Amino acid sequence: MALAMIAPPLWSQEDRKEADRLDNCGTVIKEIMDIPDDIPQDLIDKAECLIIYPSVLKAAFLVGGSYGRGAMTCRTGEHYTGPWSAPSMMALEGGSIGFQIGGQATDFVLLVMNPRGAHSMLKSKVKLGADASVAGGPKGRTANASTDVTLRAEVLSYSRARGLFAGISLEGSTVRPDHDANERVYGRKLEAEDIIFKGAVPVPPPAQKMIAYLNRKSPKNLSDPNSLKE
């Protein structure tokens, strides 16, 4: 009953695109996490939040004001030790986004590695490389998750196009909450921080498979407890 109240009881055609976007986010993260040679499991287990942008078109960044859209979910609880949260819809804007690995559409996955990065992205527009440090994440099951780059960066970024997967720097790009999309998904105006950190917002039906998968695949935060302090 609560779910019916928080999410639109019937998805209109306009709102359906947000439902499809959430479904696509779930598909992307599952496909990537099911391949050990992509994002190292130990990095996902140490991430506070994940941001997924499915099928970002290169052409979109050639026109001012265009951007990719996706969703962000974080571990809940005071020290990010609880289940994954309901998602906030997010926008990714141009800057120096690279499409080095080719293809017409690219999936991006961002791992947010500390609380400061998580809160800043949900409050306002954050420029990667300036407001939050970012690095192309290491890949492969043998990647060393304790390297200097992973210890220093607040955000680790990855991309996938035409089946090819790579760590990619998104320095110069901006990340921000997509408030209009959140209103369409949840049926009322909600702040992104409230969706993720208040714990009172149920996971909307289109995101339930994605969140259930994350809770199964990475149920515990394995970060150093000292790093969880703001």
- For the residues 137-154, what does the mean pLDDT come to? 67
For residue range 30-83, what is the model confidence (pLDDT) as tens digits? 998 888 778 888 899 999 999 999 988 665 554 444 468 999 999 998 889 999
pLDDT in tens, 84-131: 999 999 999 875 455 444 446 789 999 999 998 898 999 889 999 899
Distance from the first to the final alpha carbon of the chain? 36
Report the pLDDT averaged over residues 175-202. 93
In tens, the pLDDT along 80-97 reads 999 999 999 999 987 545
Give residue limits of the domains in the chain.
Answer: 2-217
- The least confident of 66-75, 148-157, 187-196 is 148-157
The whole-number pLDDT of residue 223 equals 82
HSE of 170 in the Cβ direction (CA atoms, 13 Å)? 32
pLDDT at 230 exceeding the cut of 90: no
CB 122 within 8 A of CB 88: yes
Residue 150: pLDDT band (50, 70, 90) is low
> Is residue 12 scored above 80 in pLDDT?
no
Whole-number pLDDT of residue 87: 98
Mean per-residue pLDDT, 159-187: 88
| 179: pLDDT strictly greater than 80 | yes
- pTM score: 0.85
Q: How far apart are CA 32 and CA 158, in angstroms?
A: 10
Return d(Cα 176, Cα 90) in angstroms, integer.
6
**Residue 29 · residue 214 · CB < 8 Å:** yes
Give yes or no for residue 147 having a pLDDT over 60. Answer: no
Supply the pLDDT for residue 102. 47
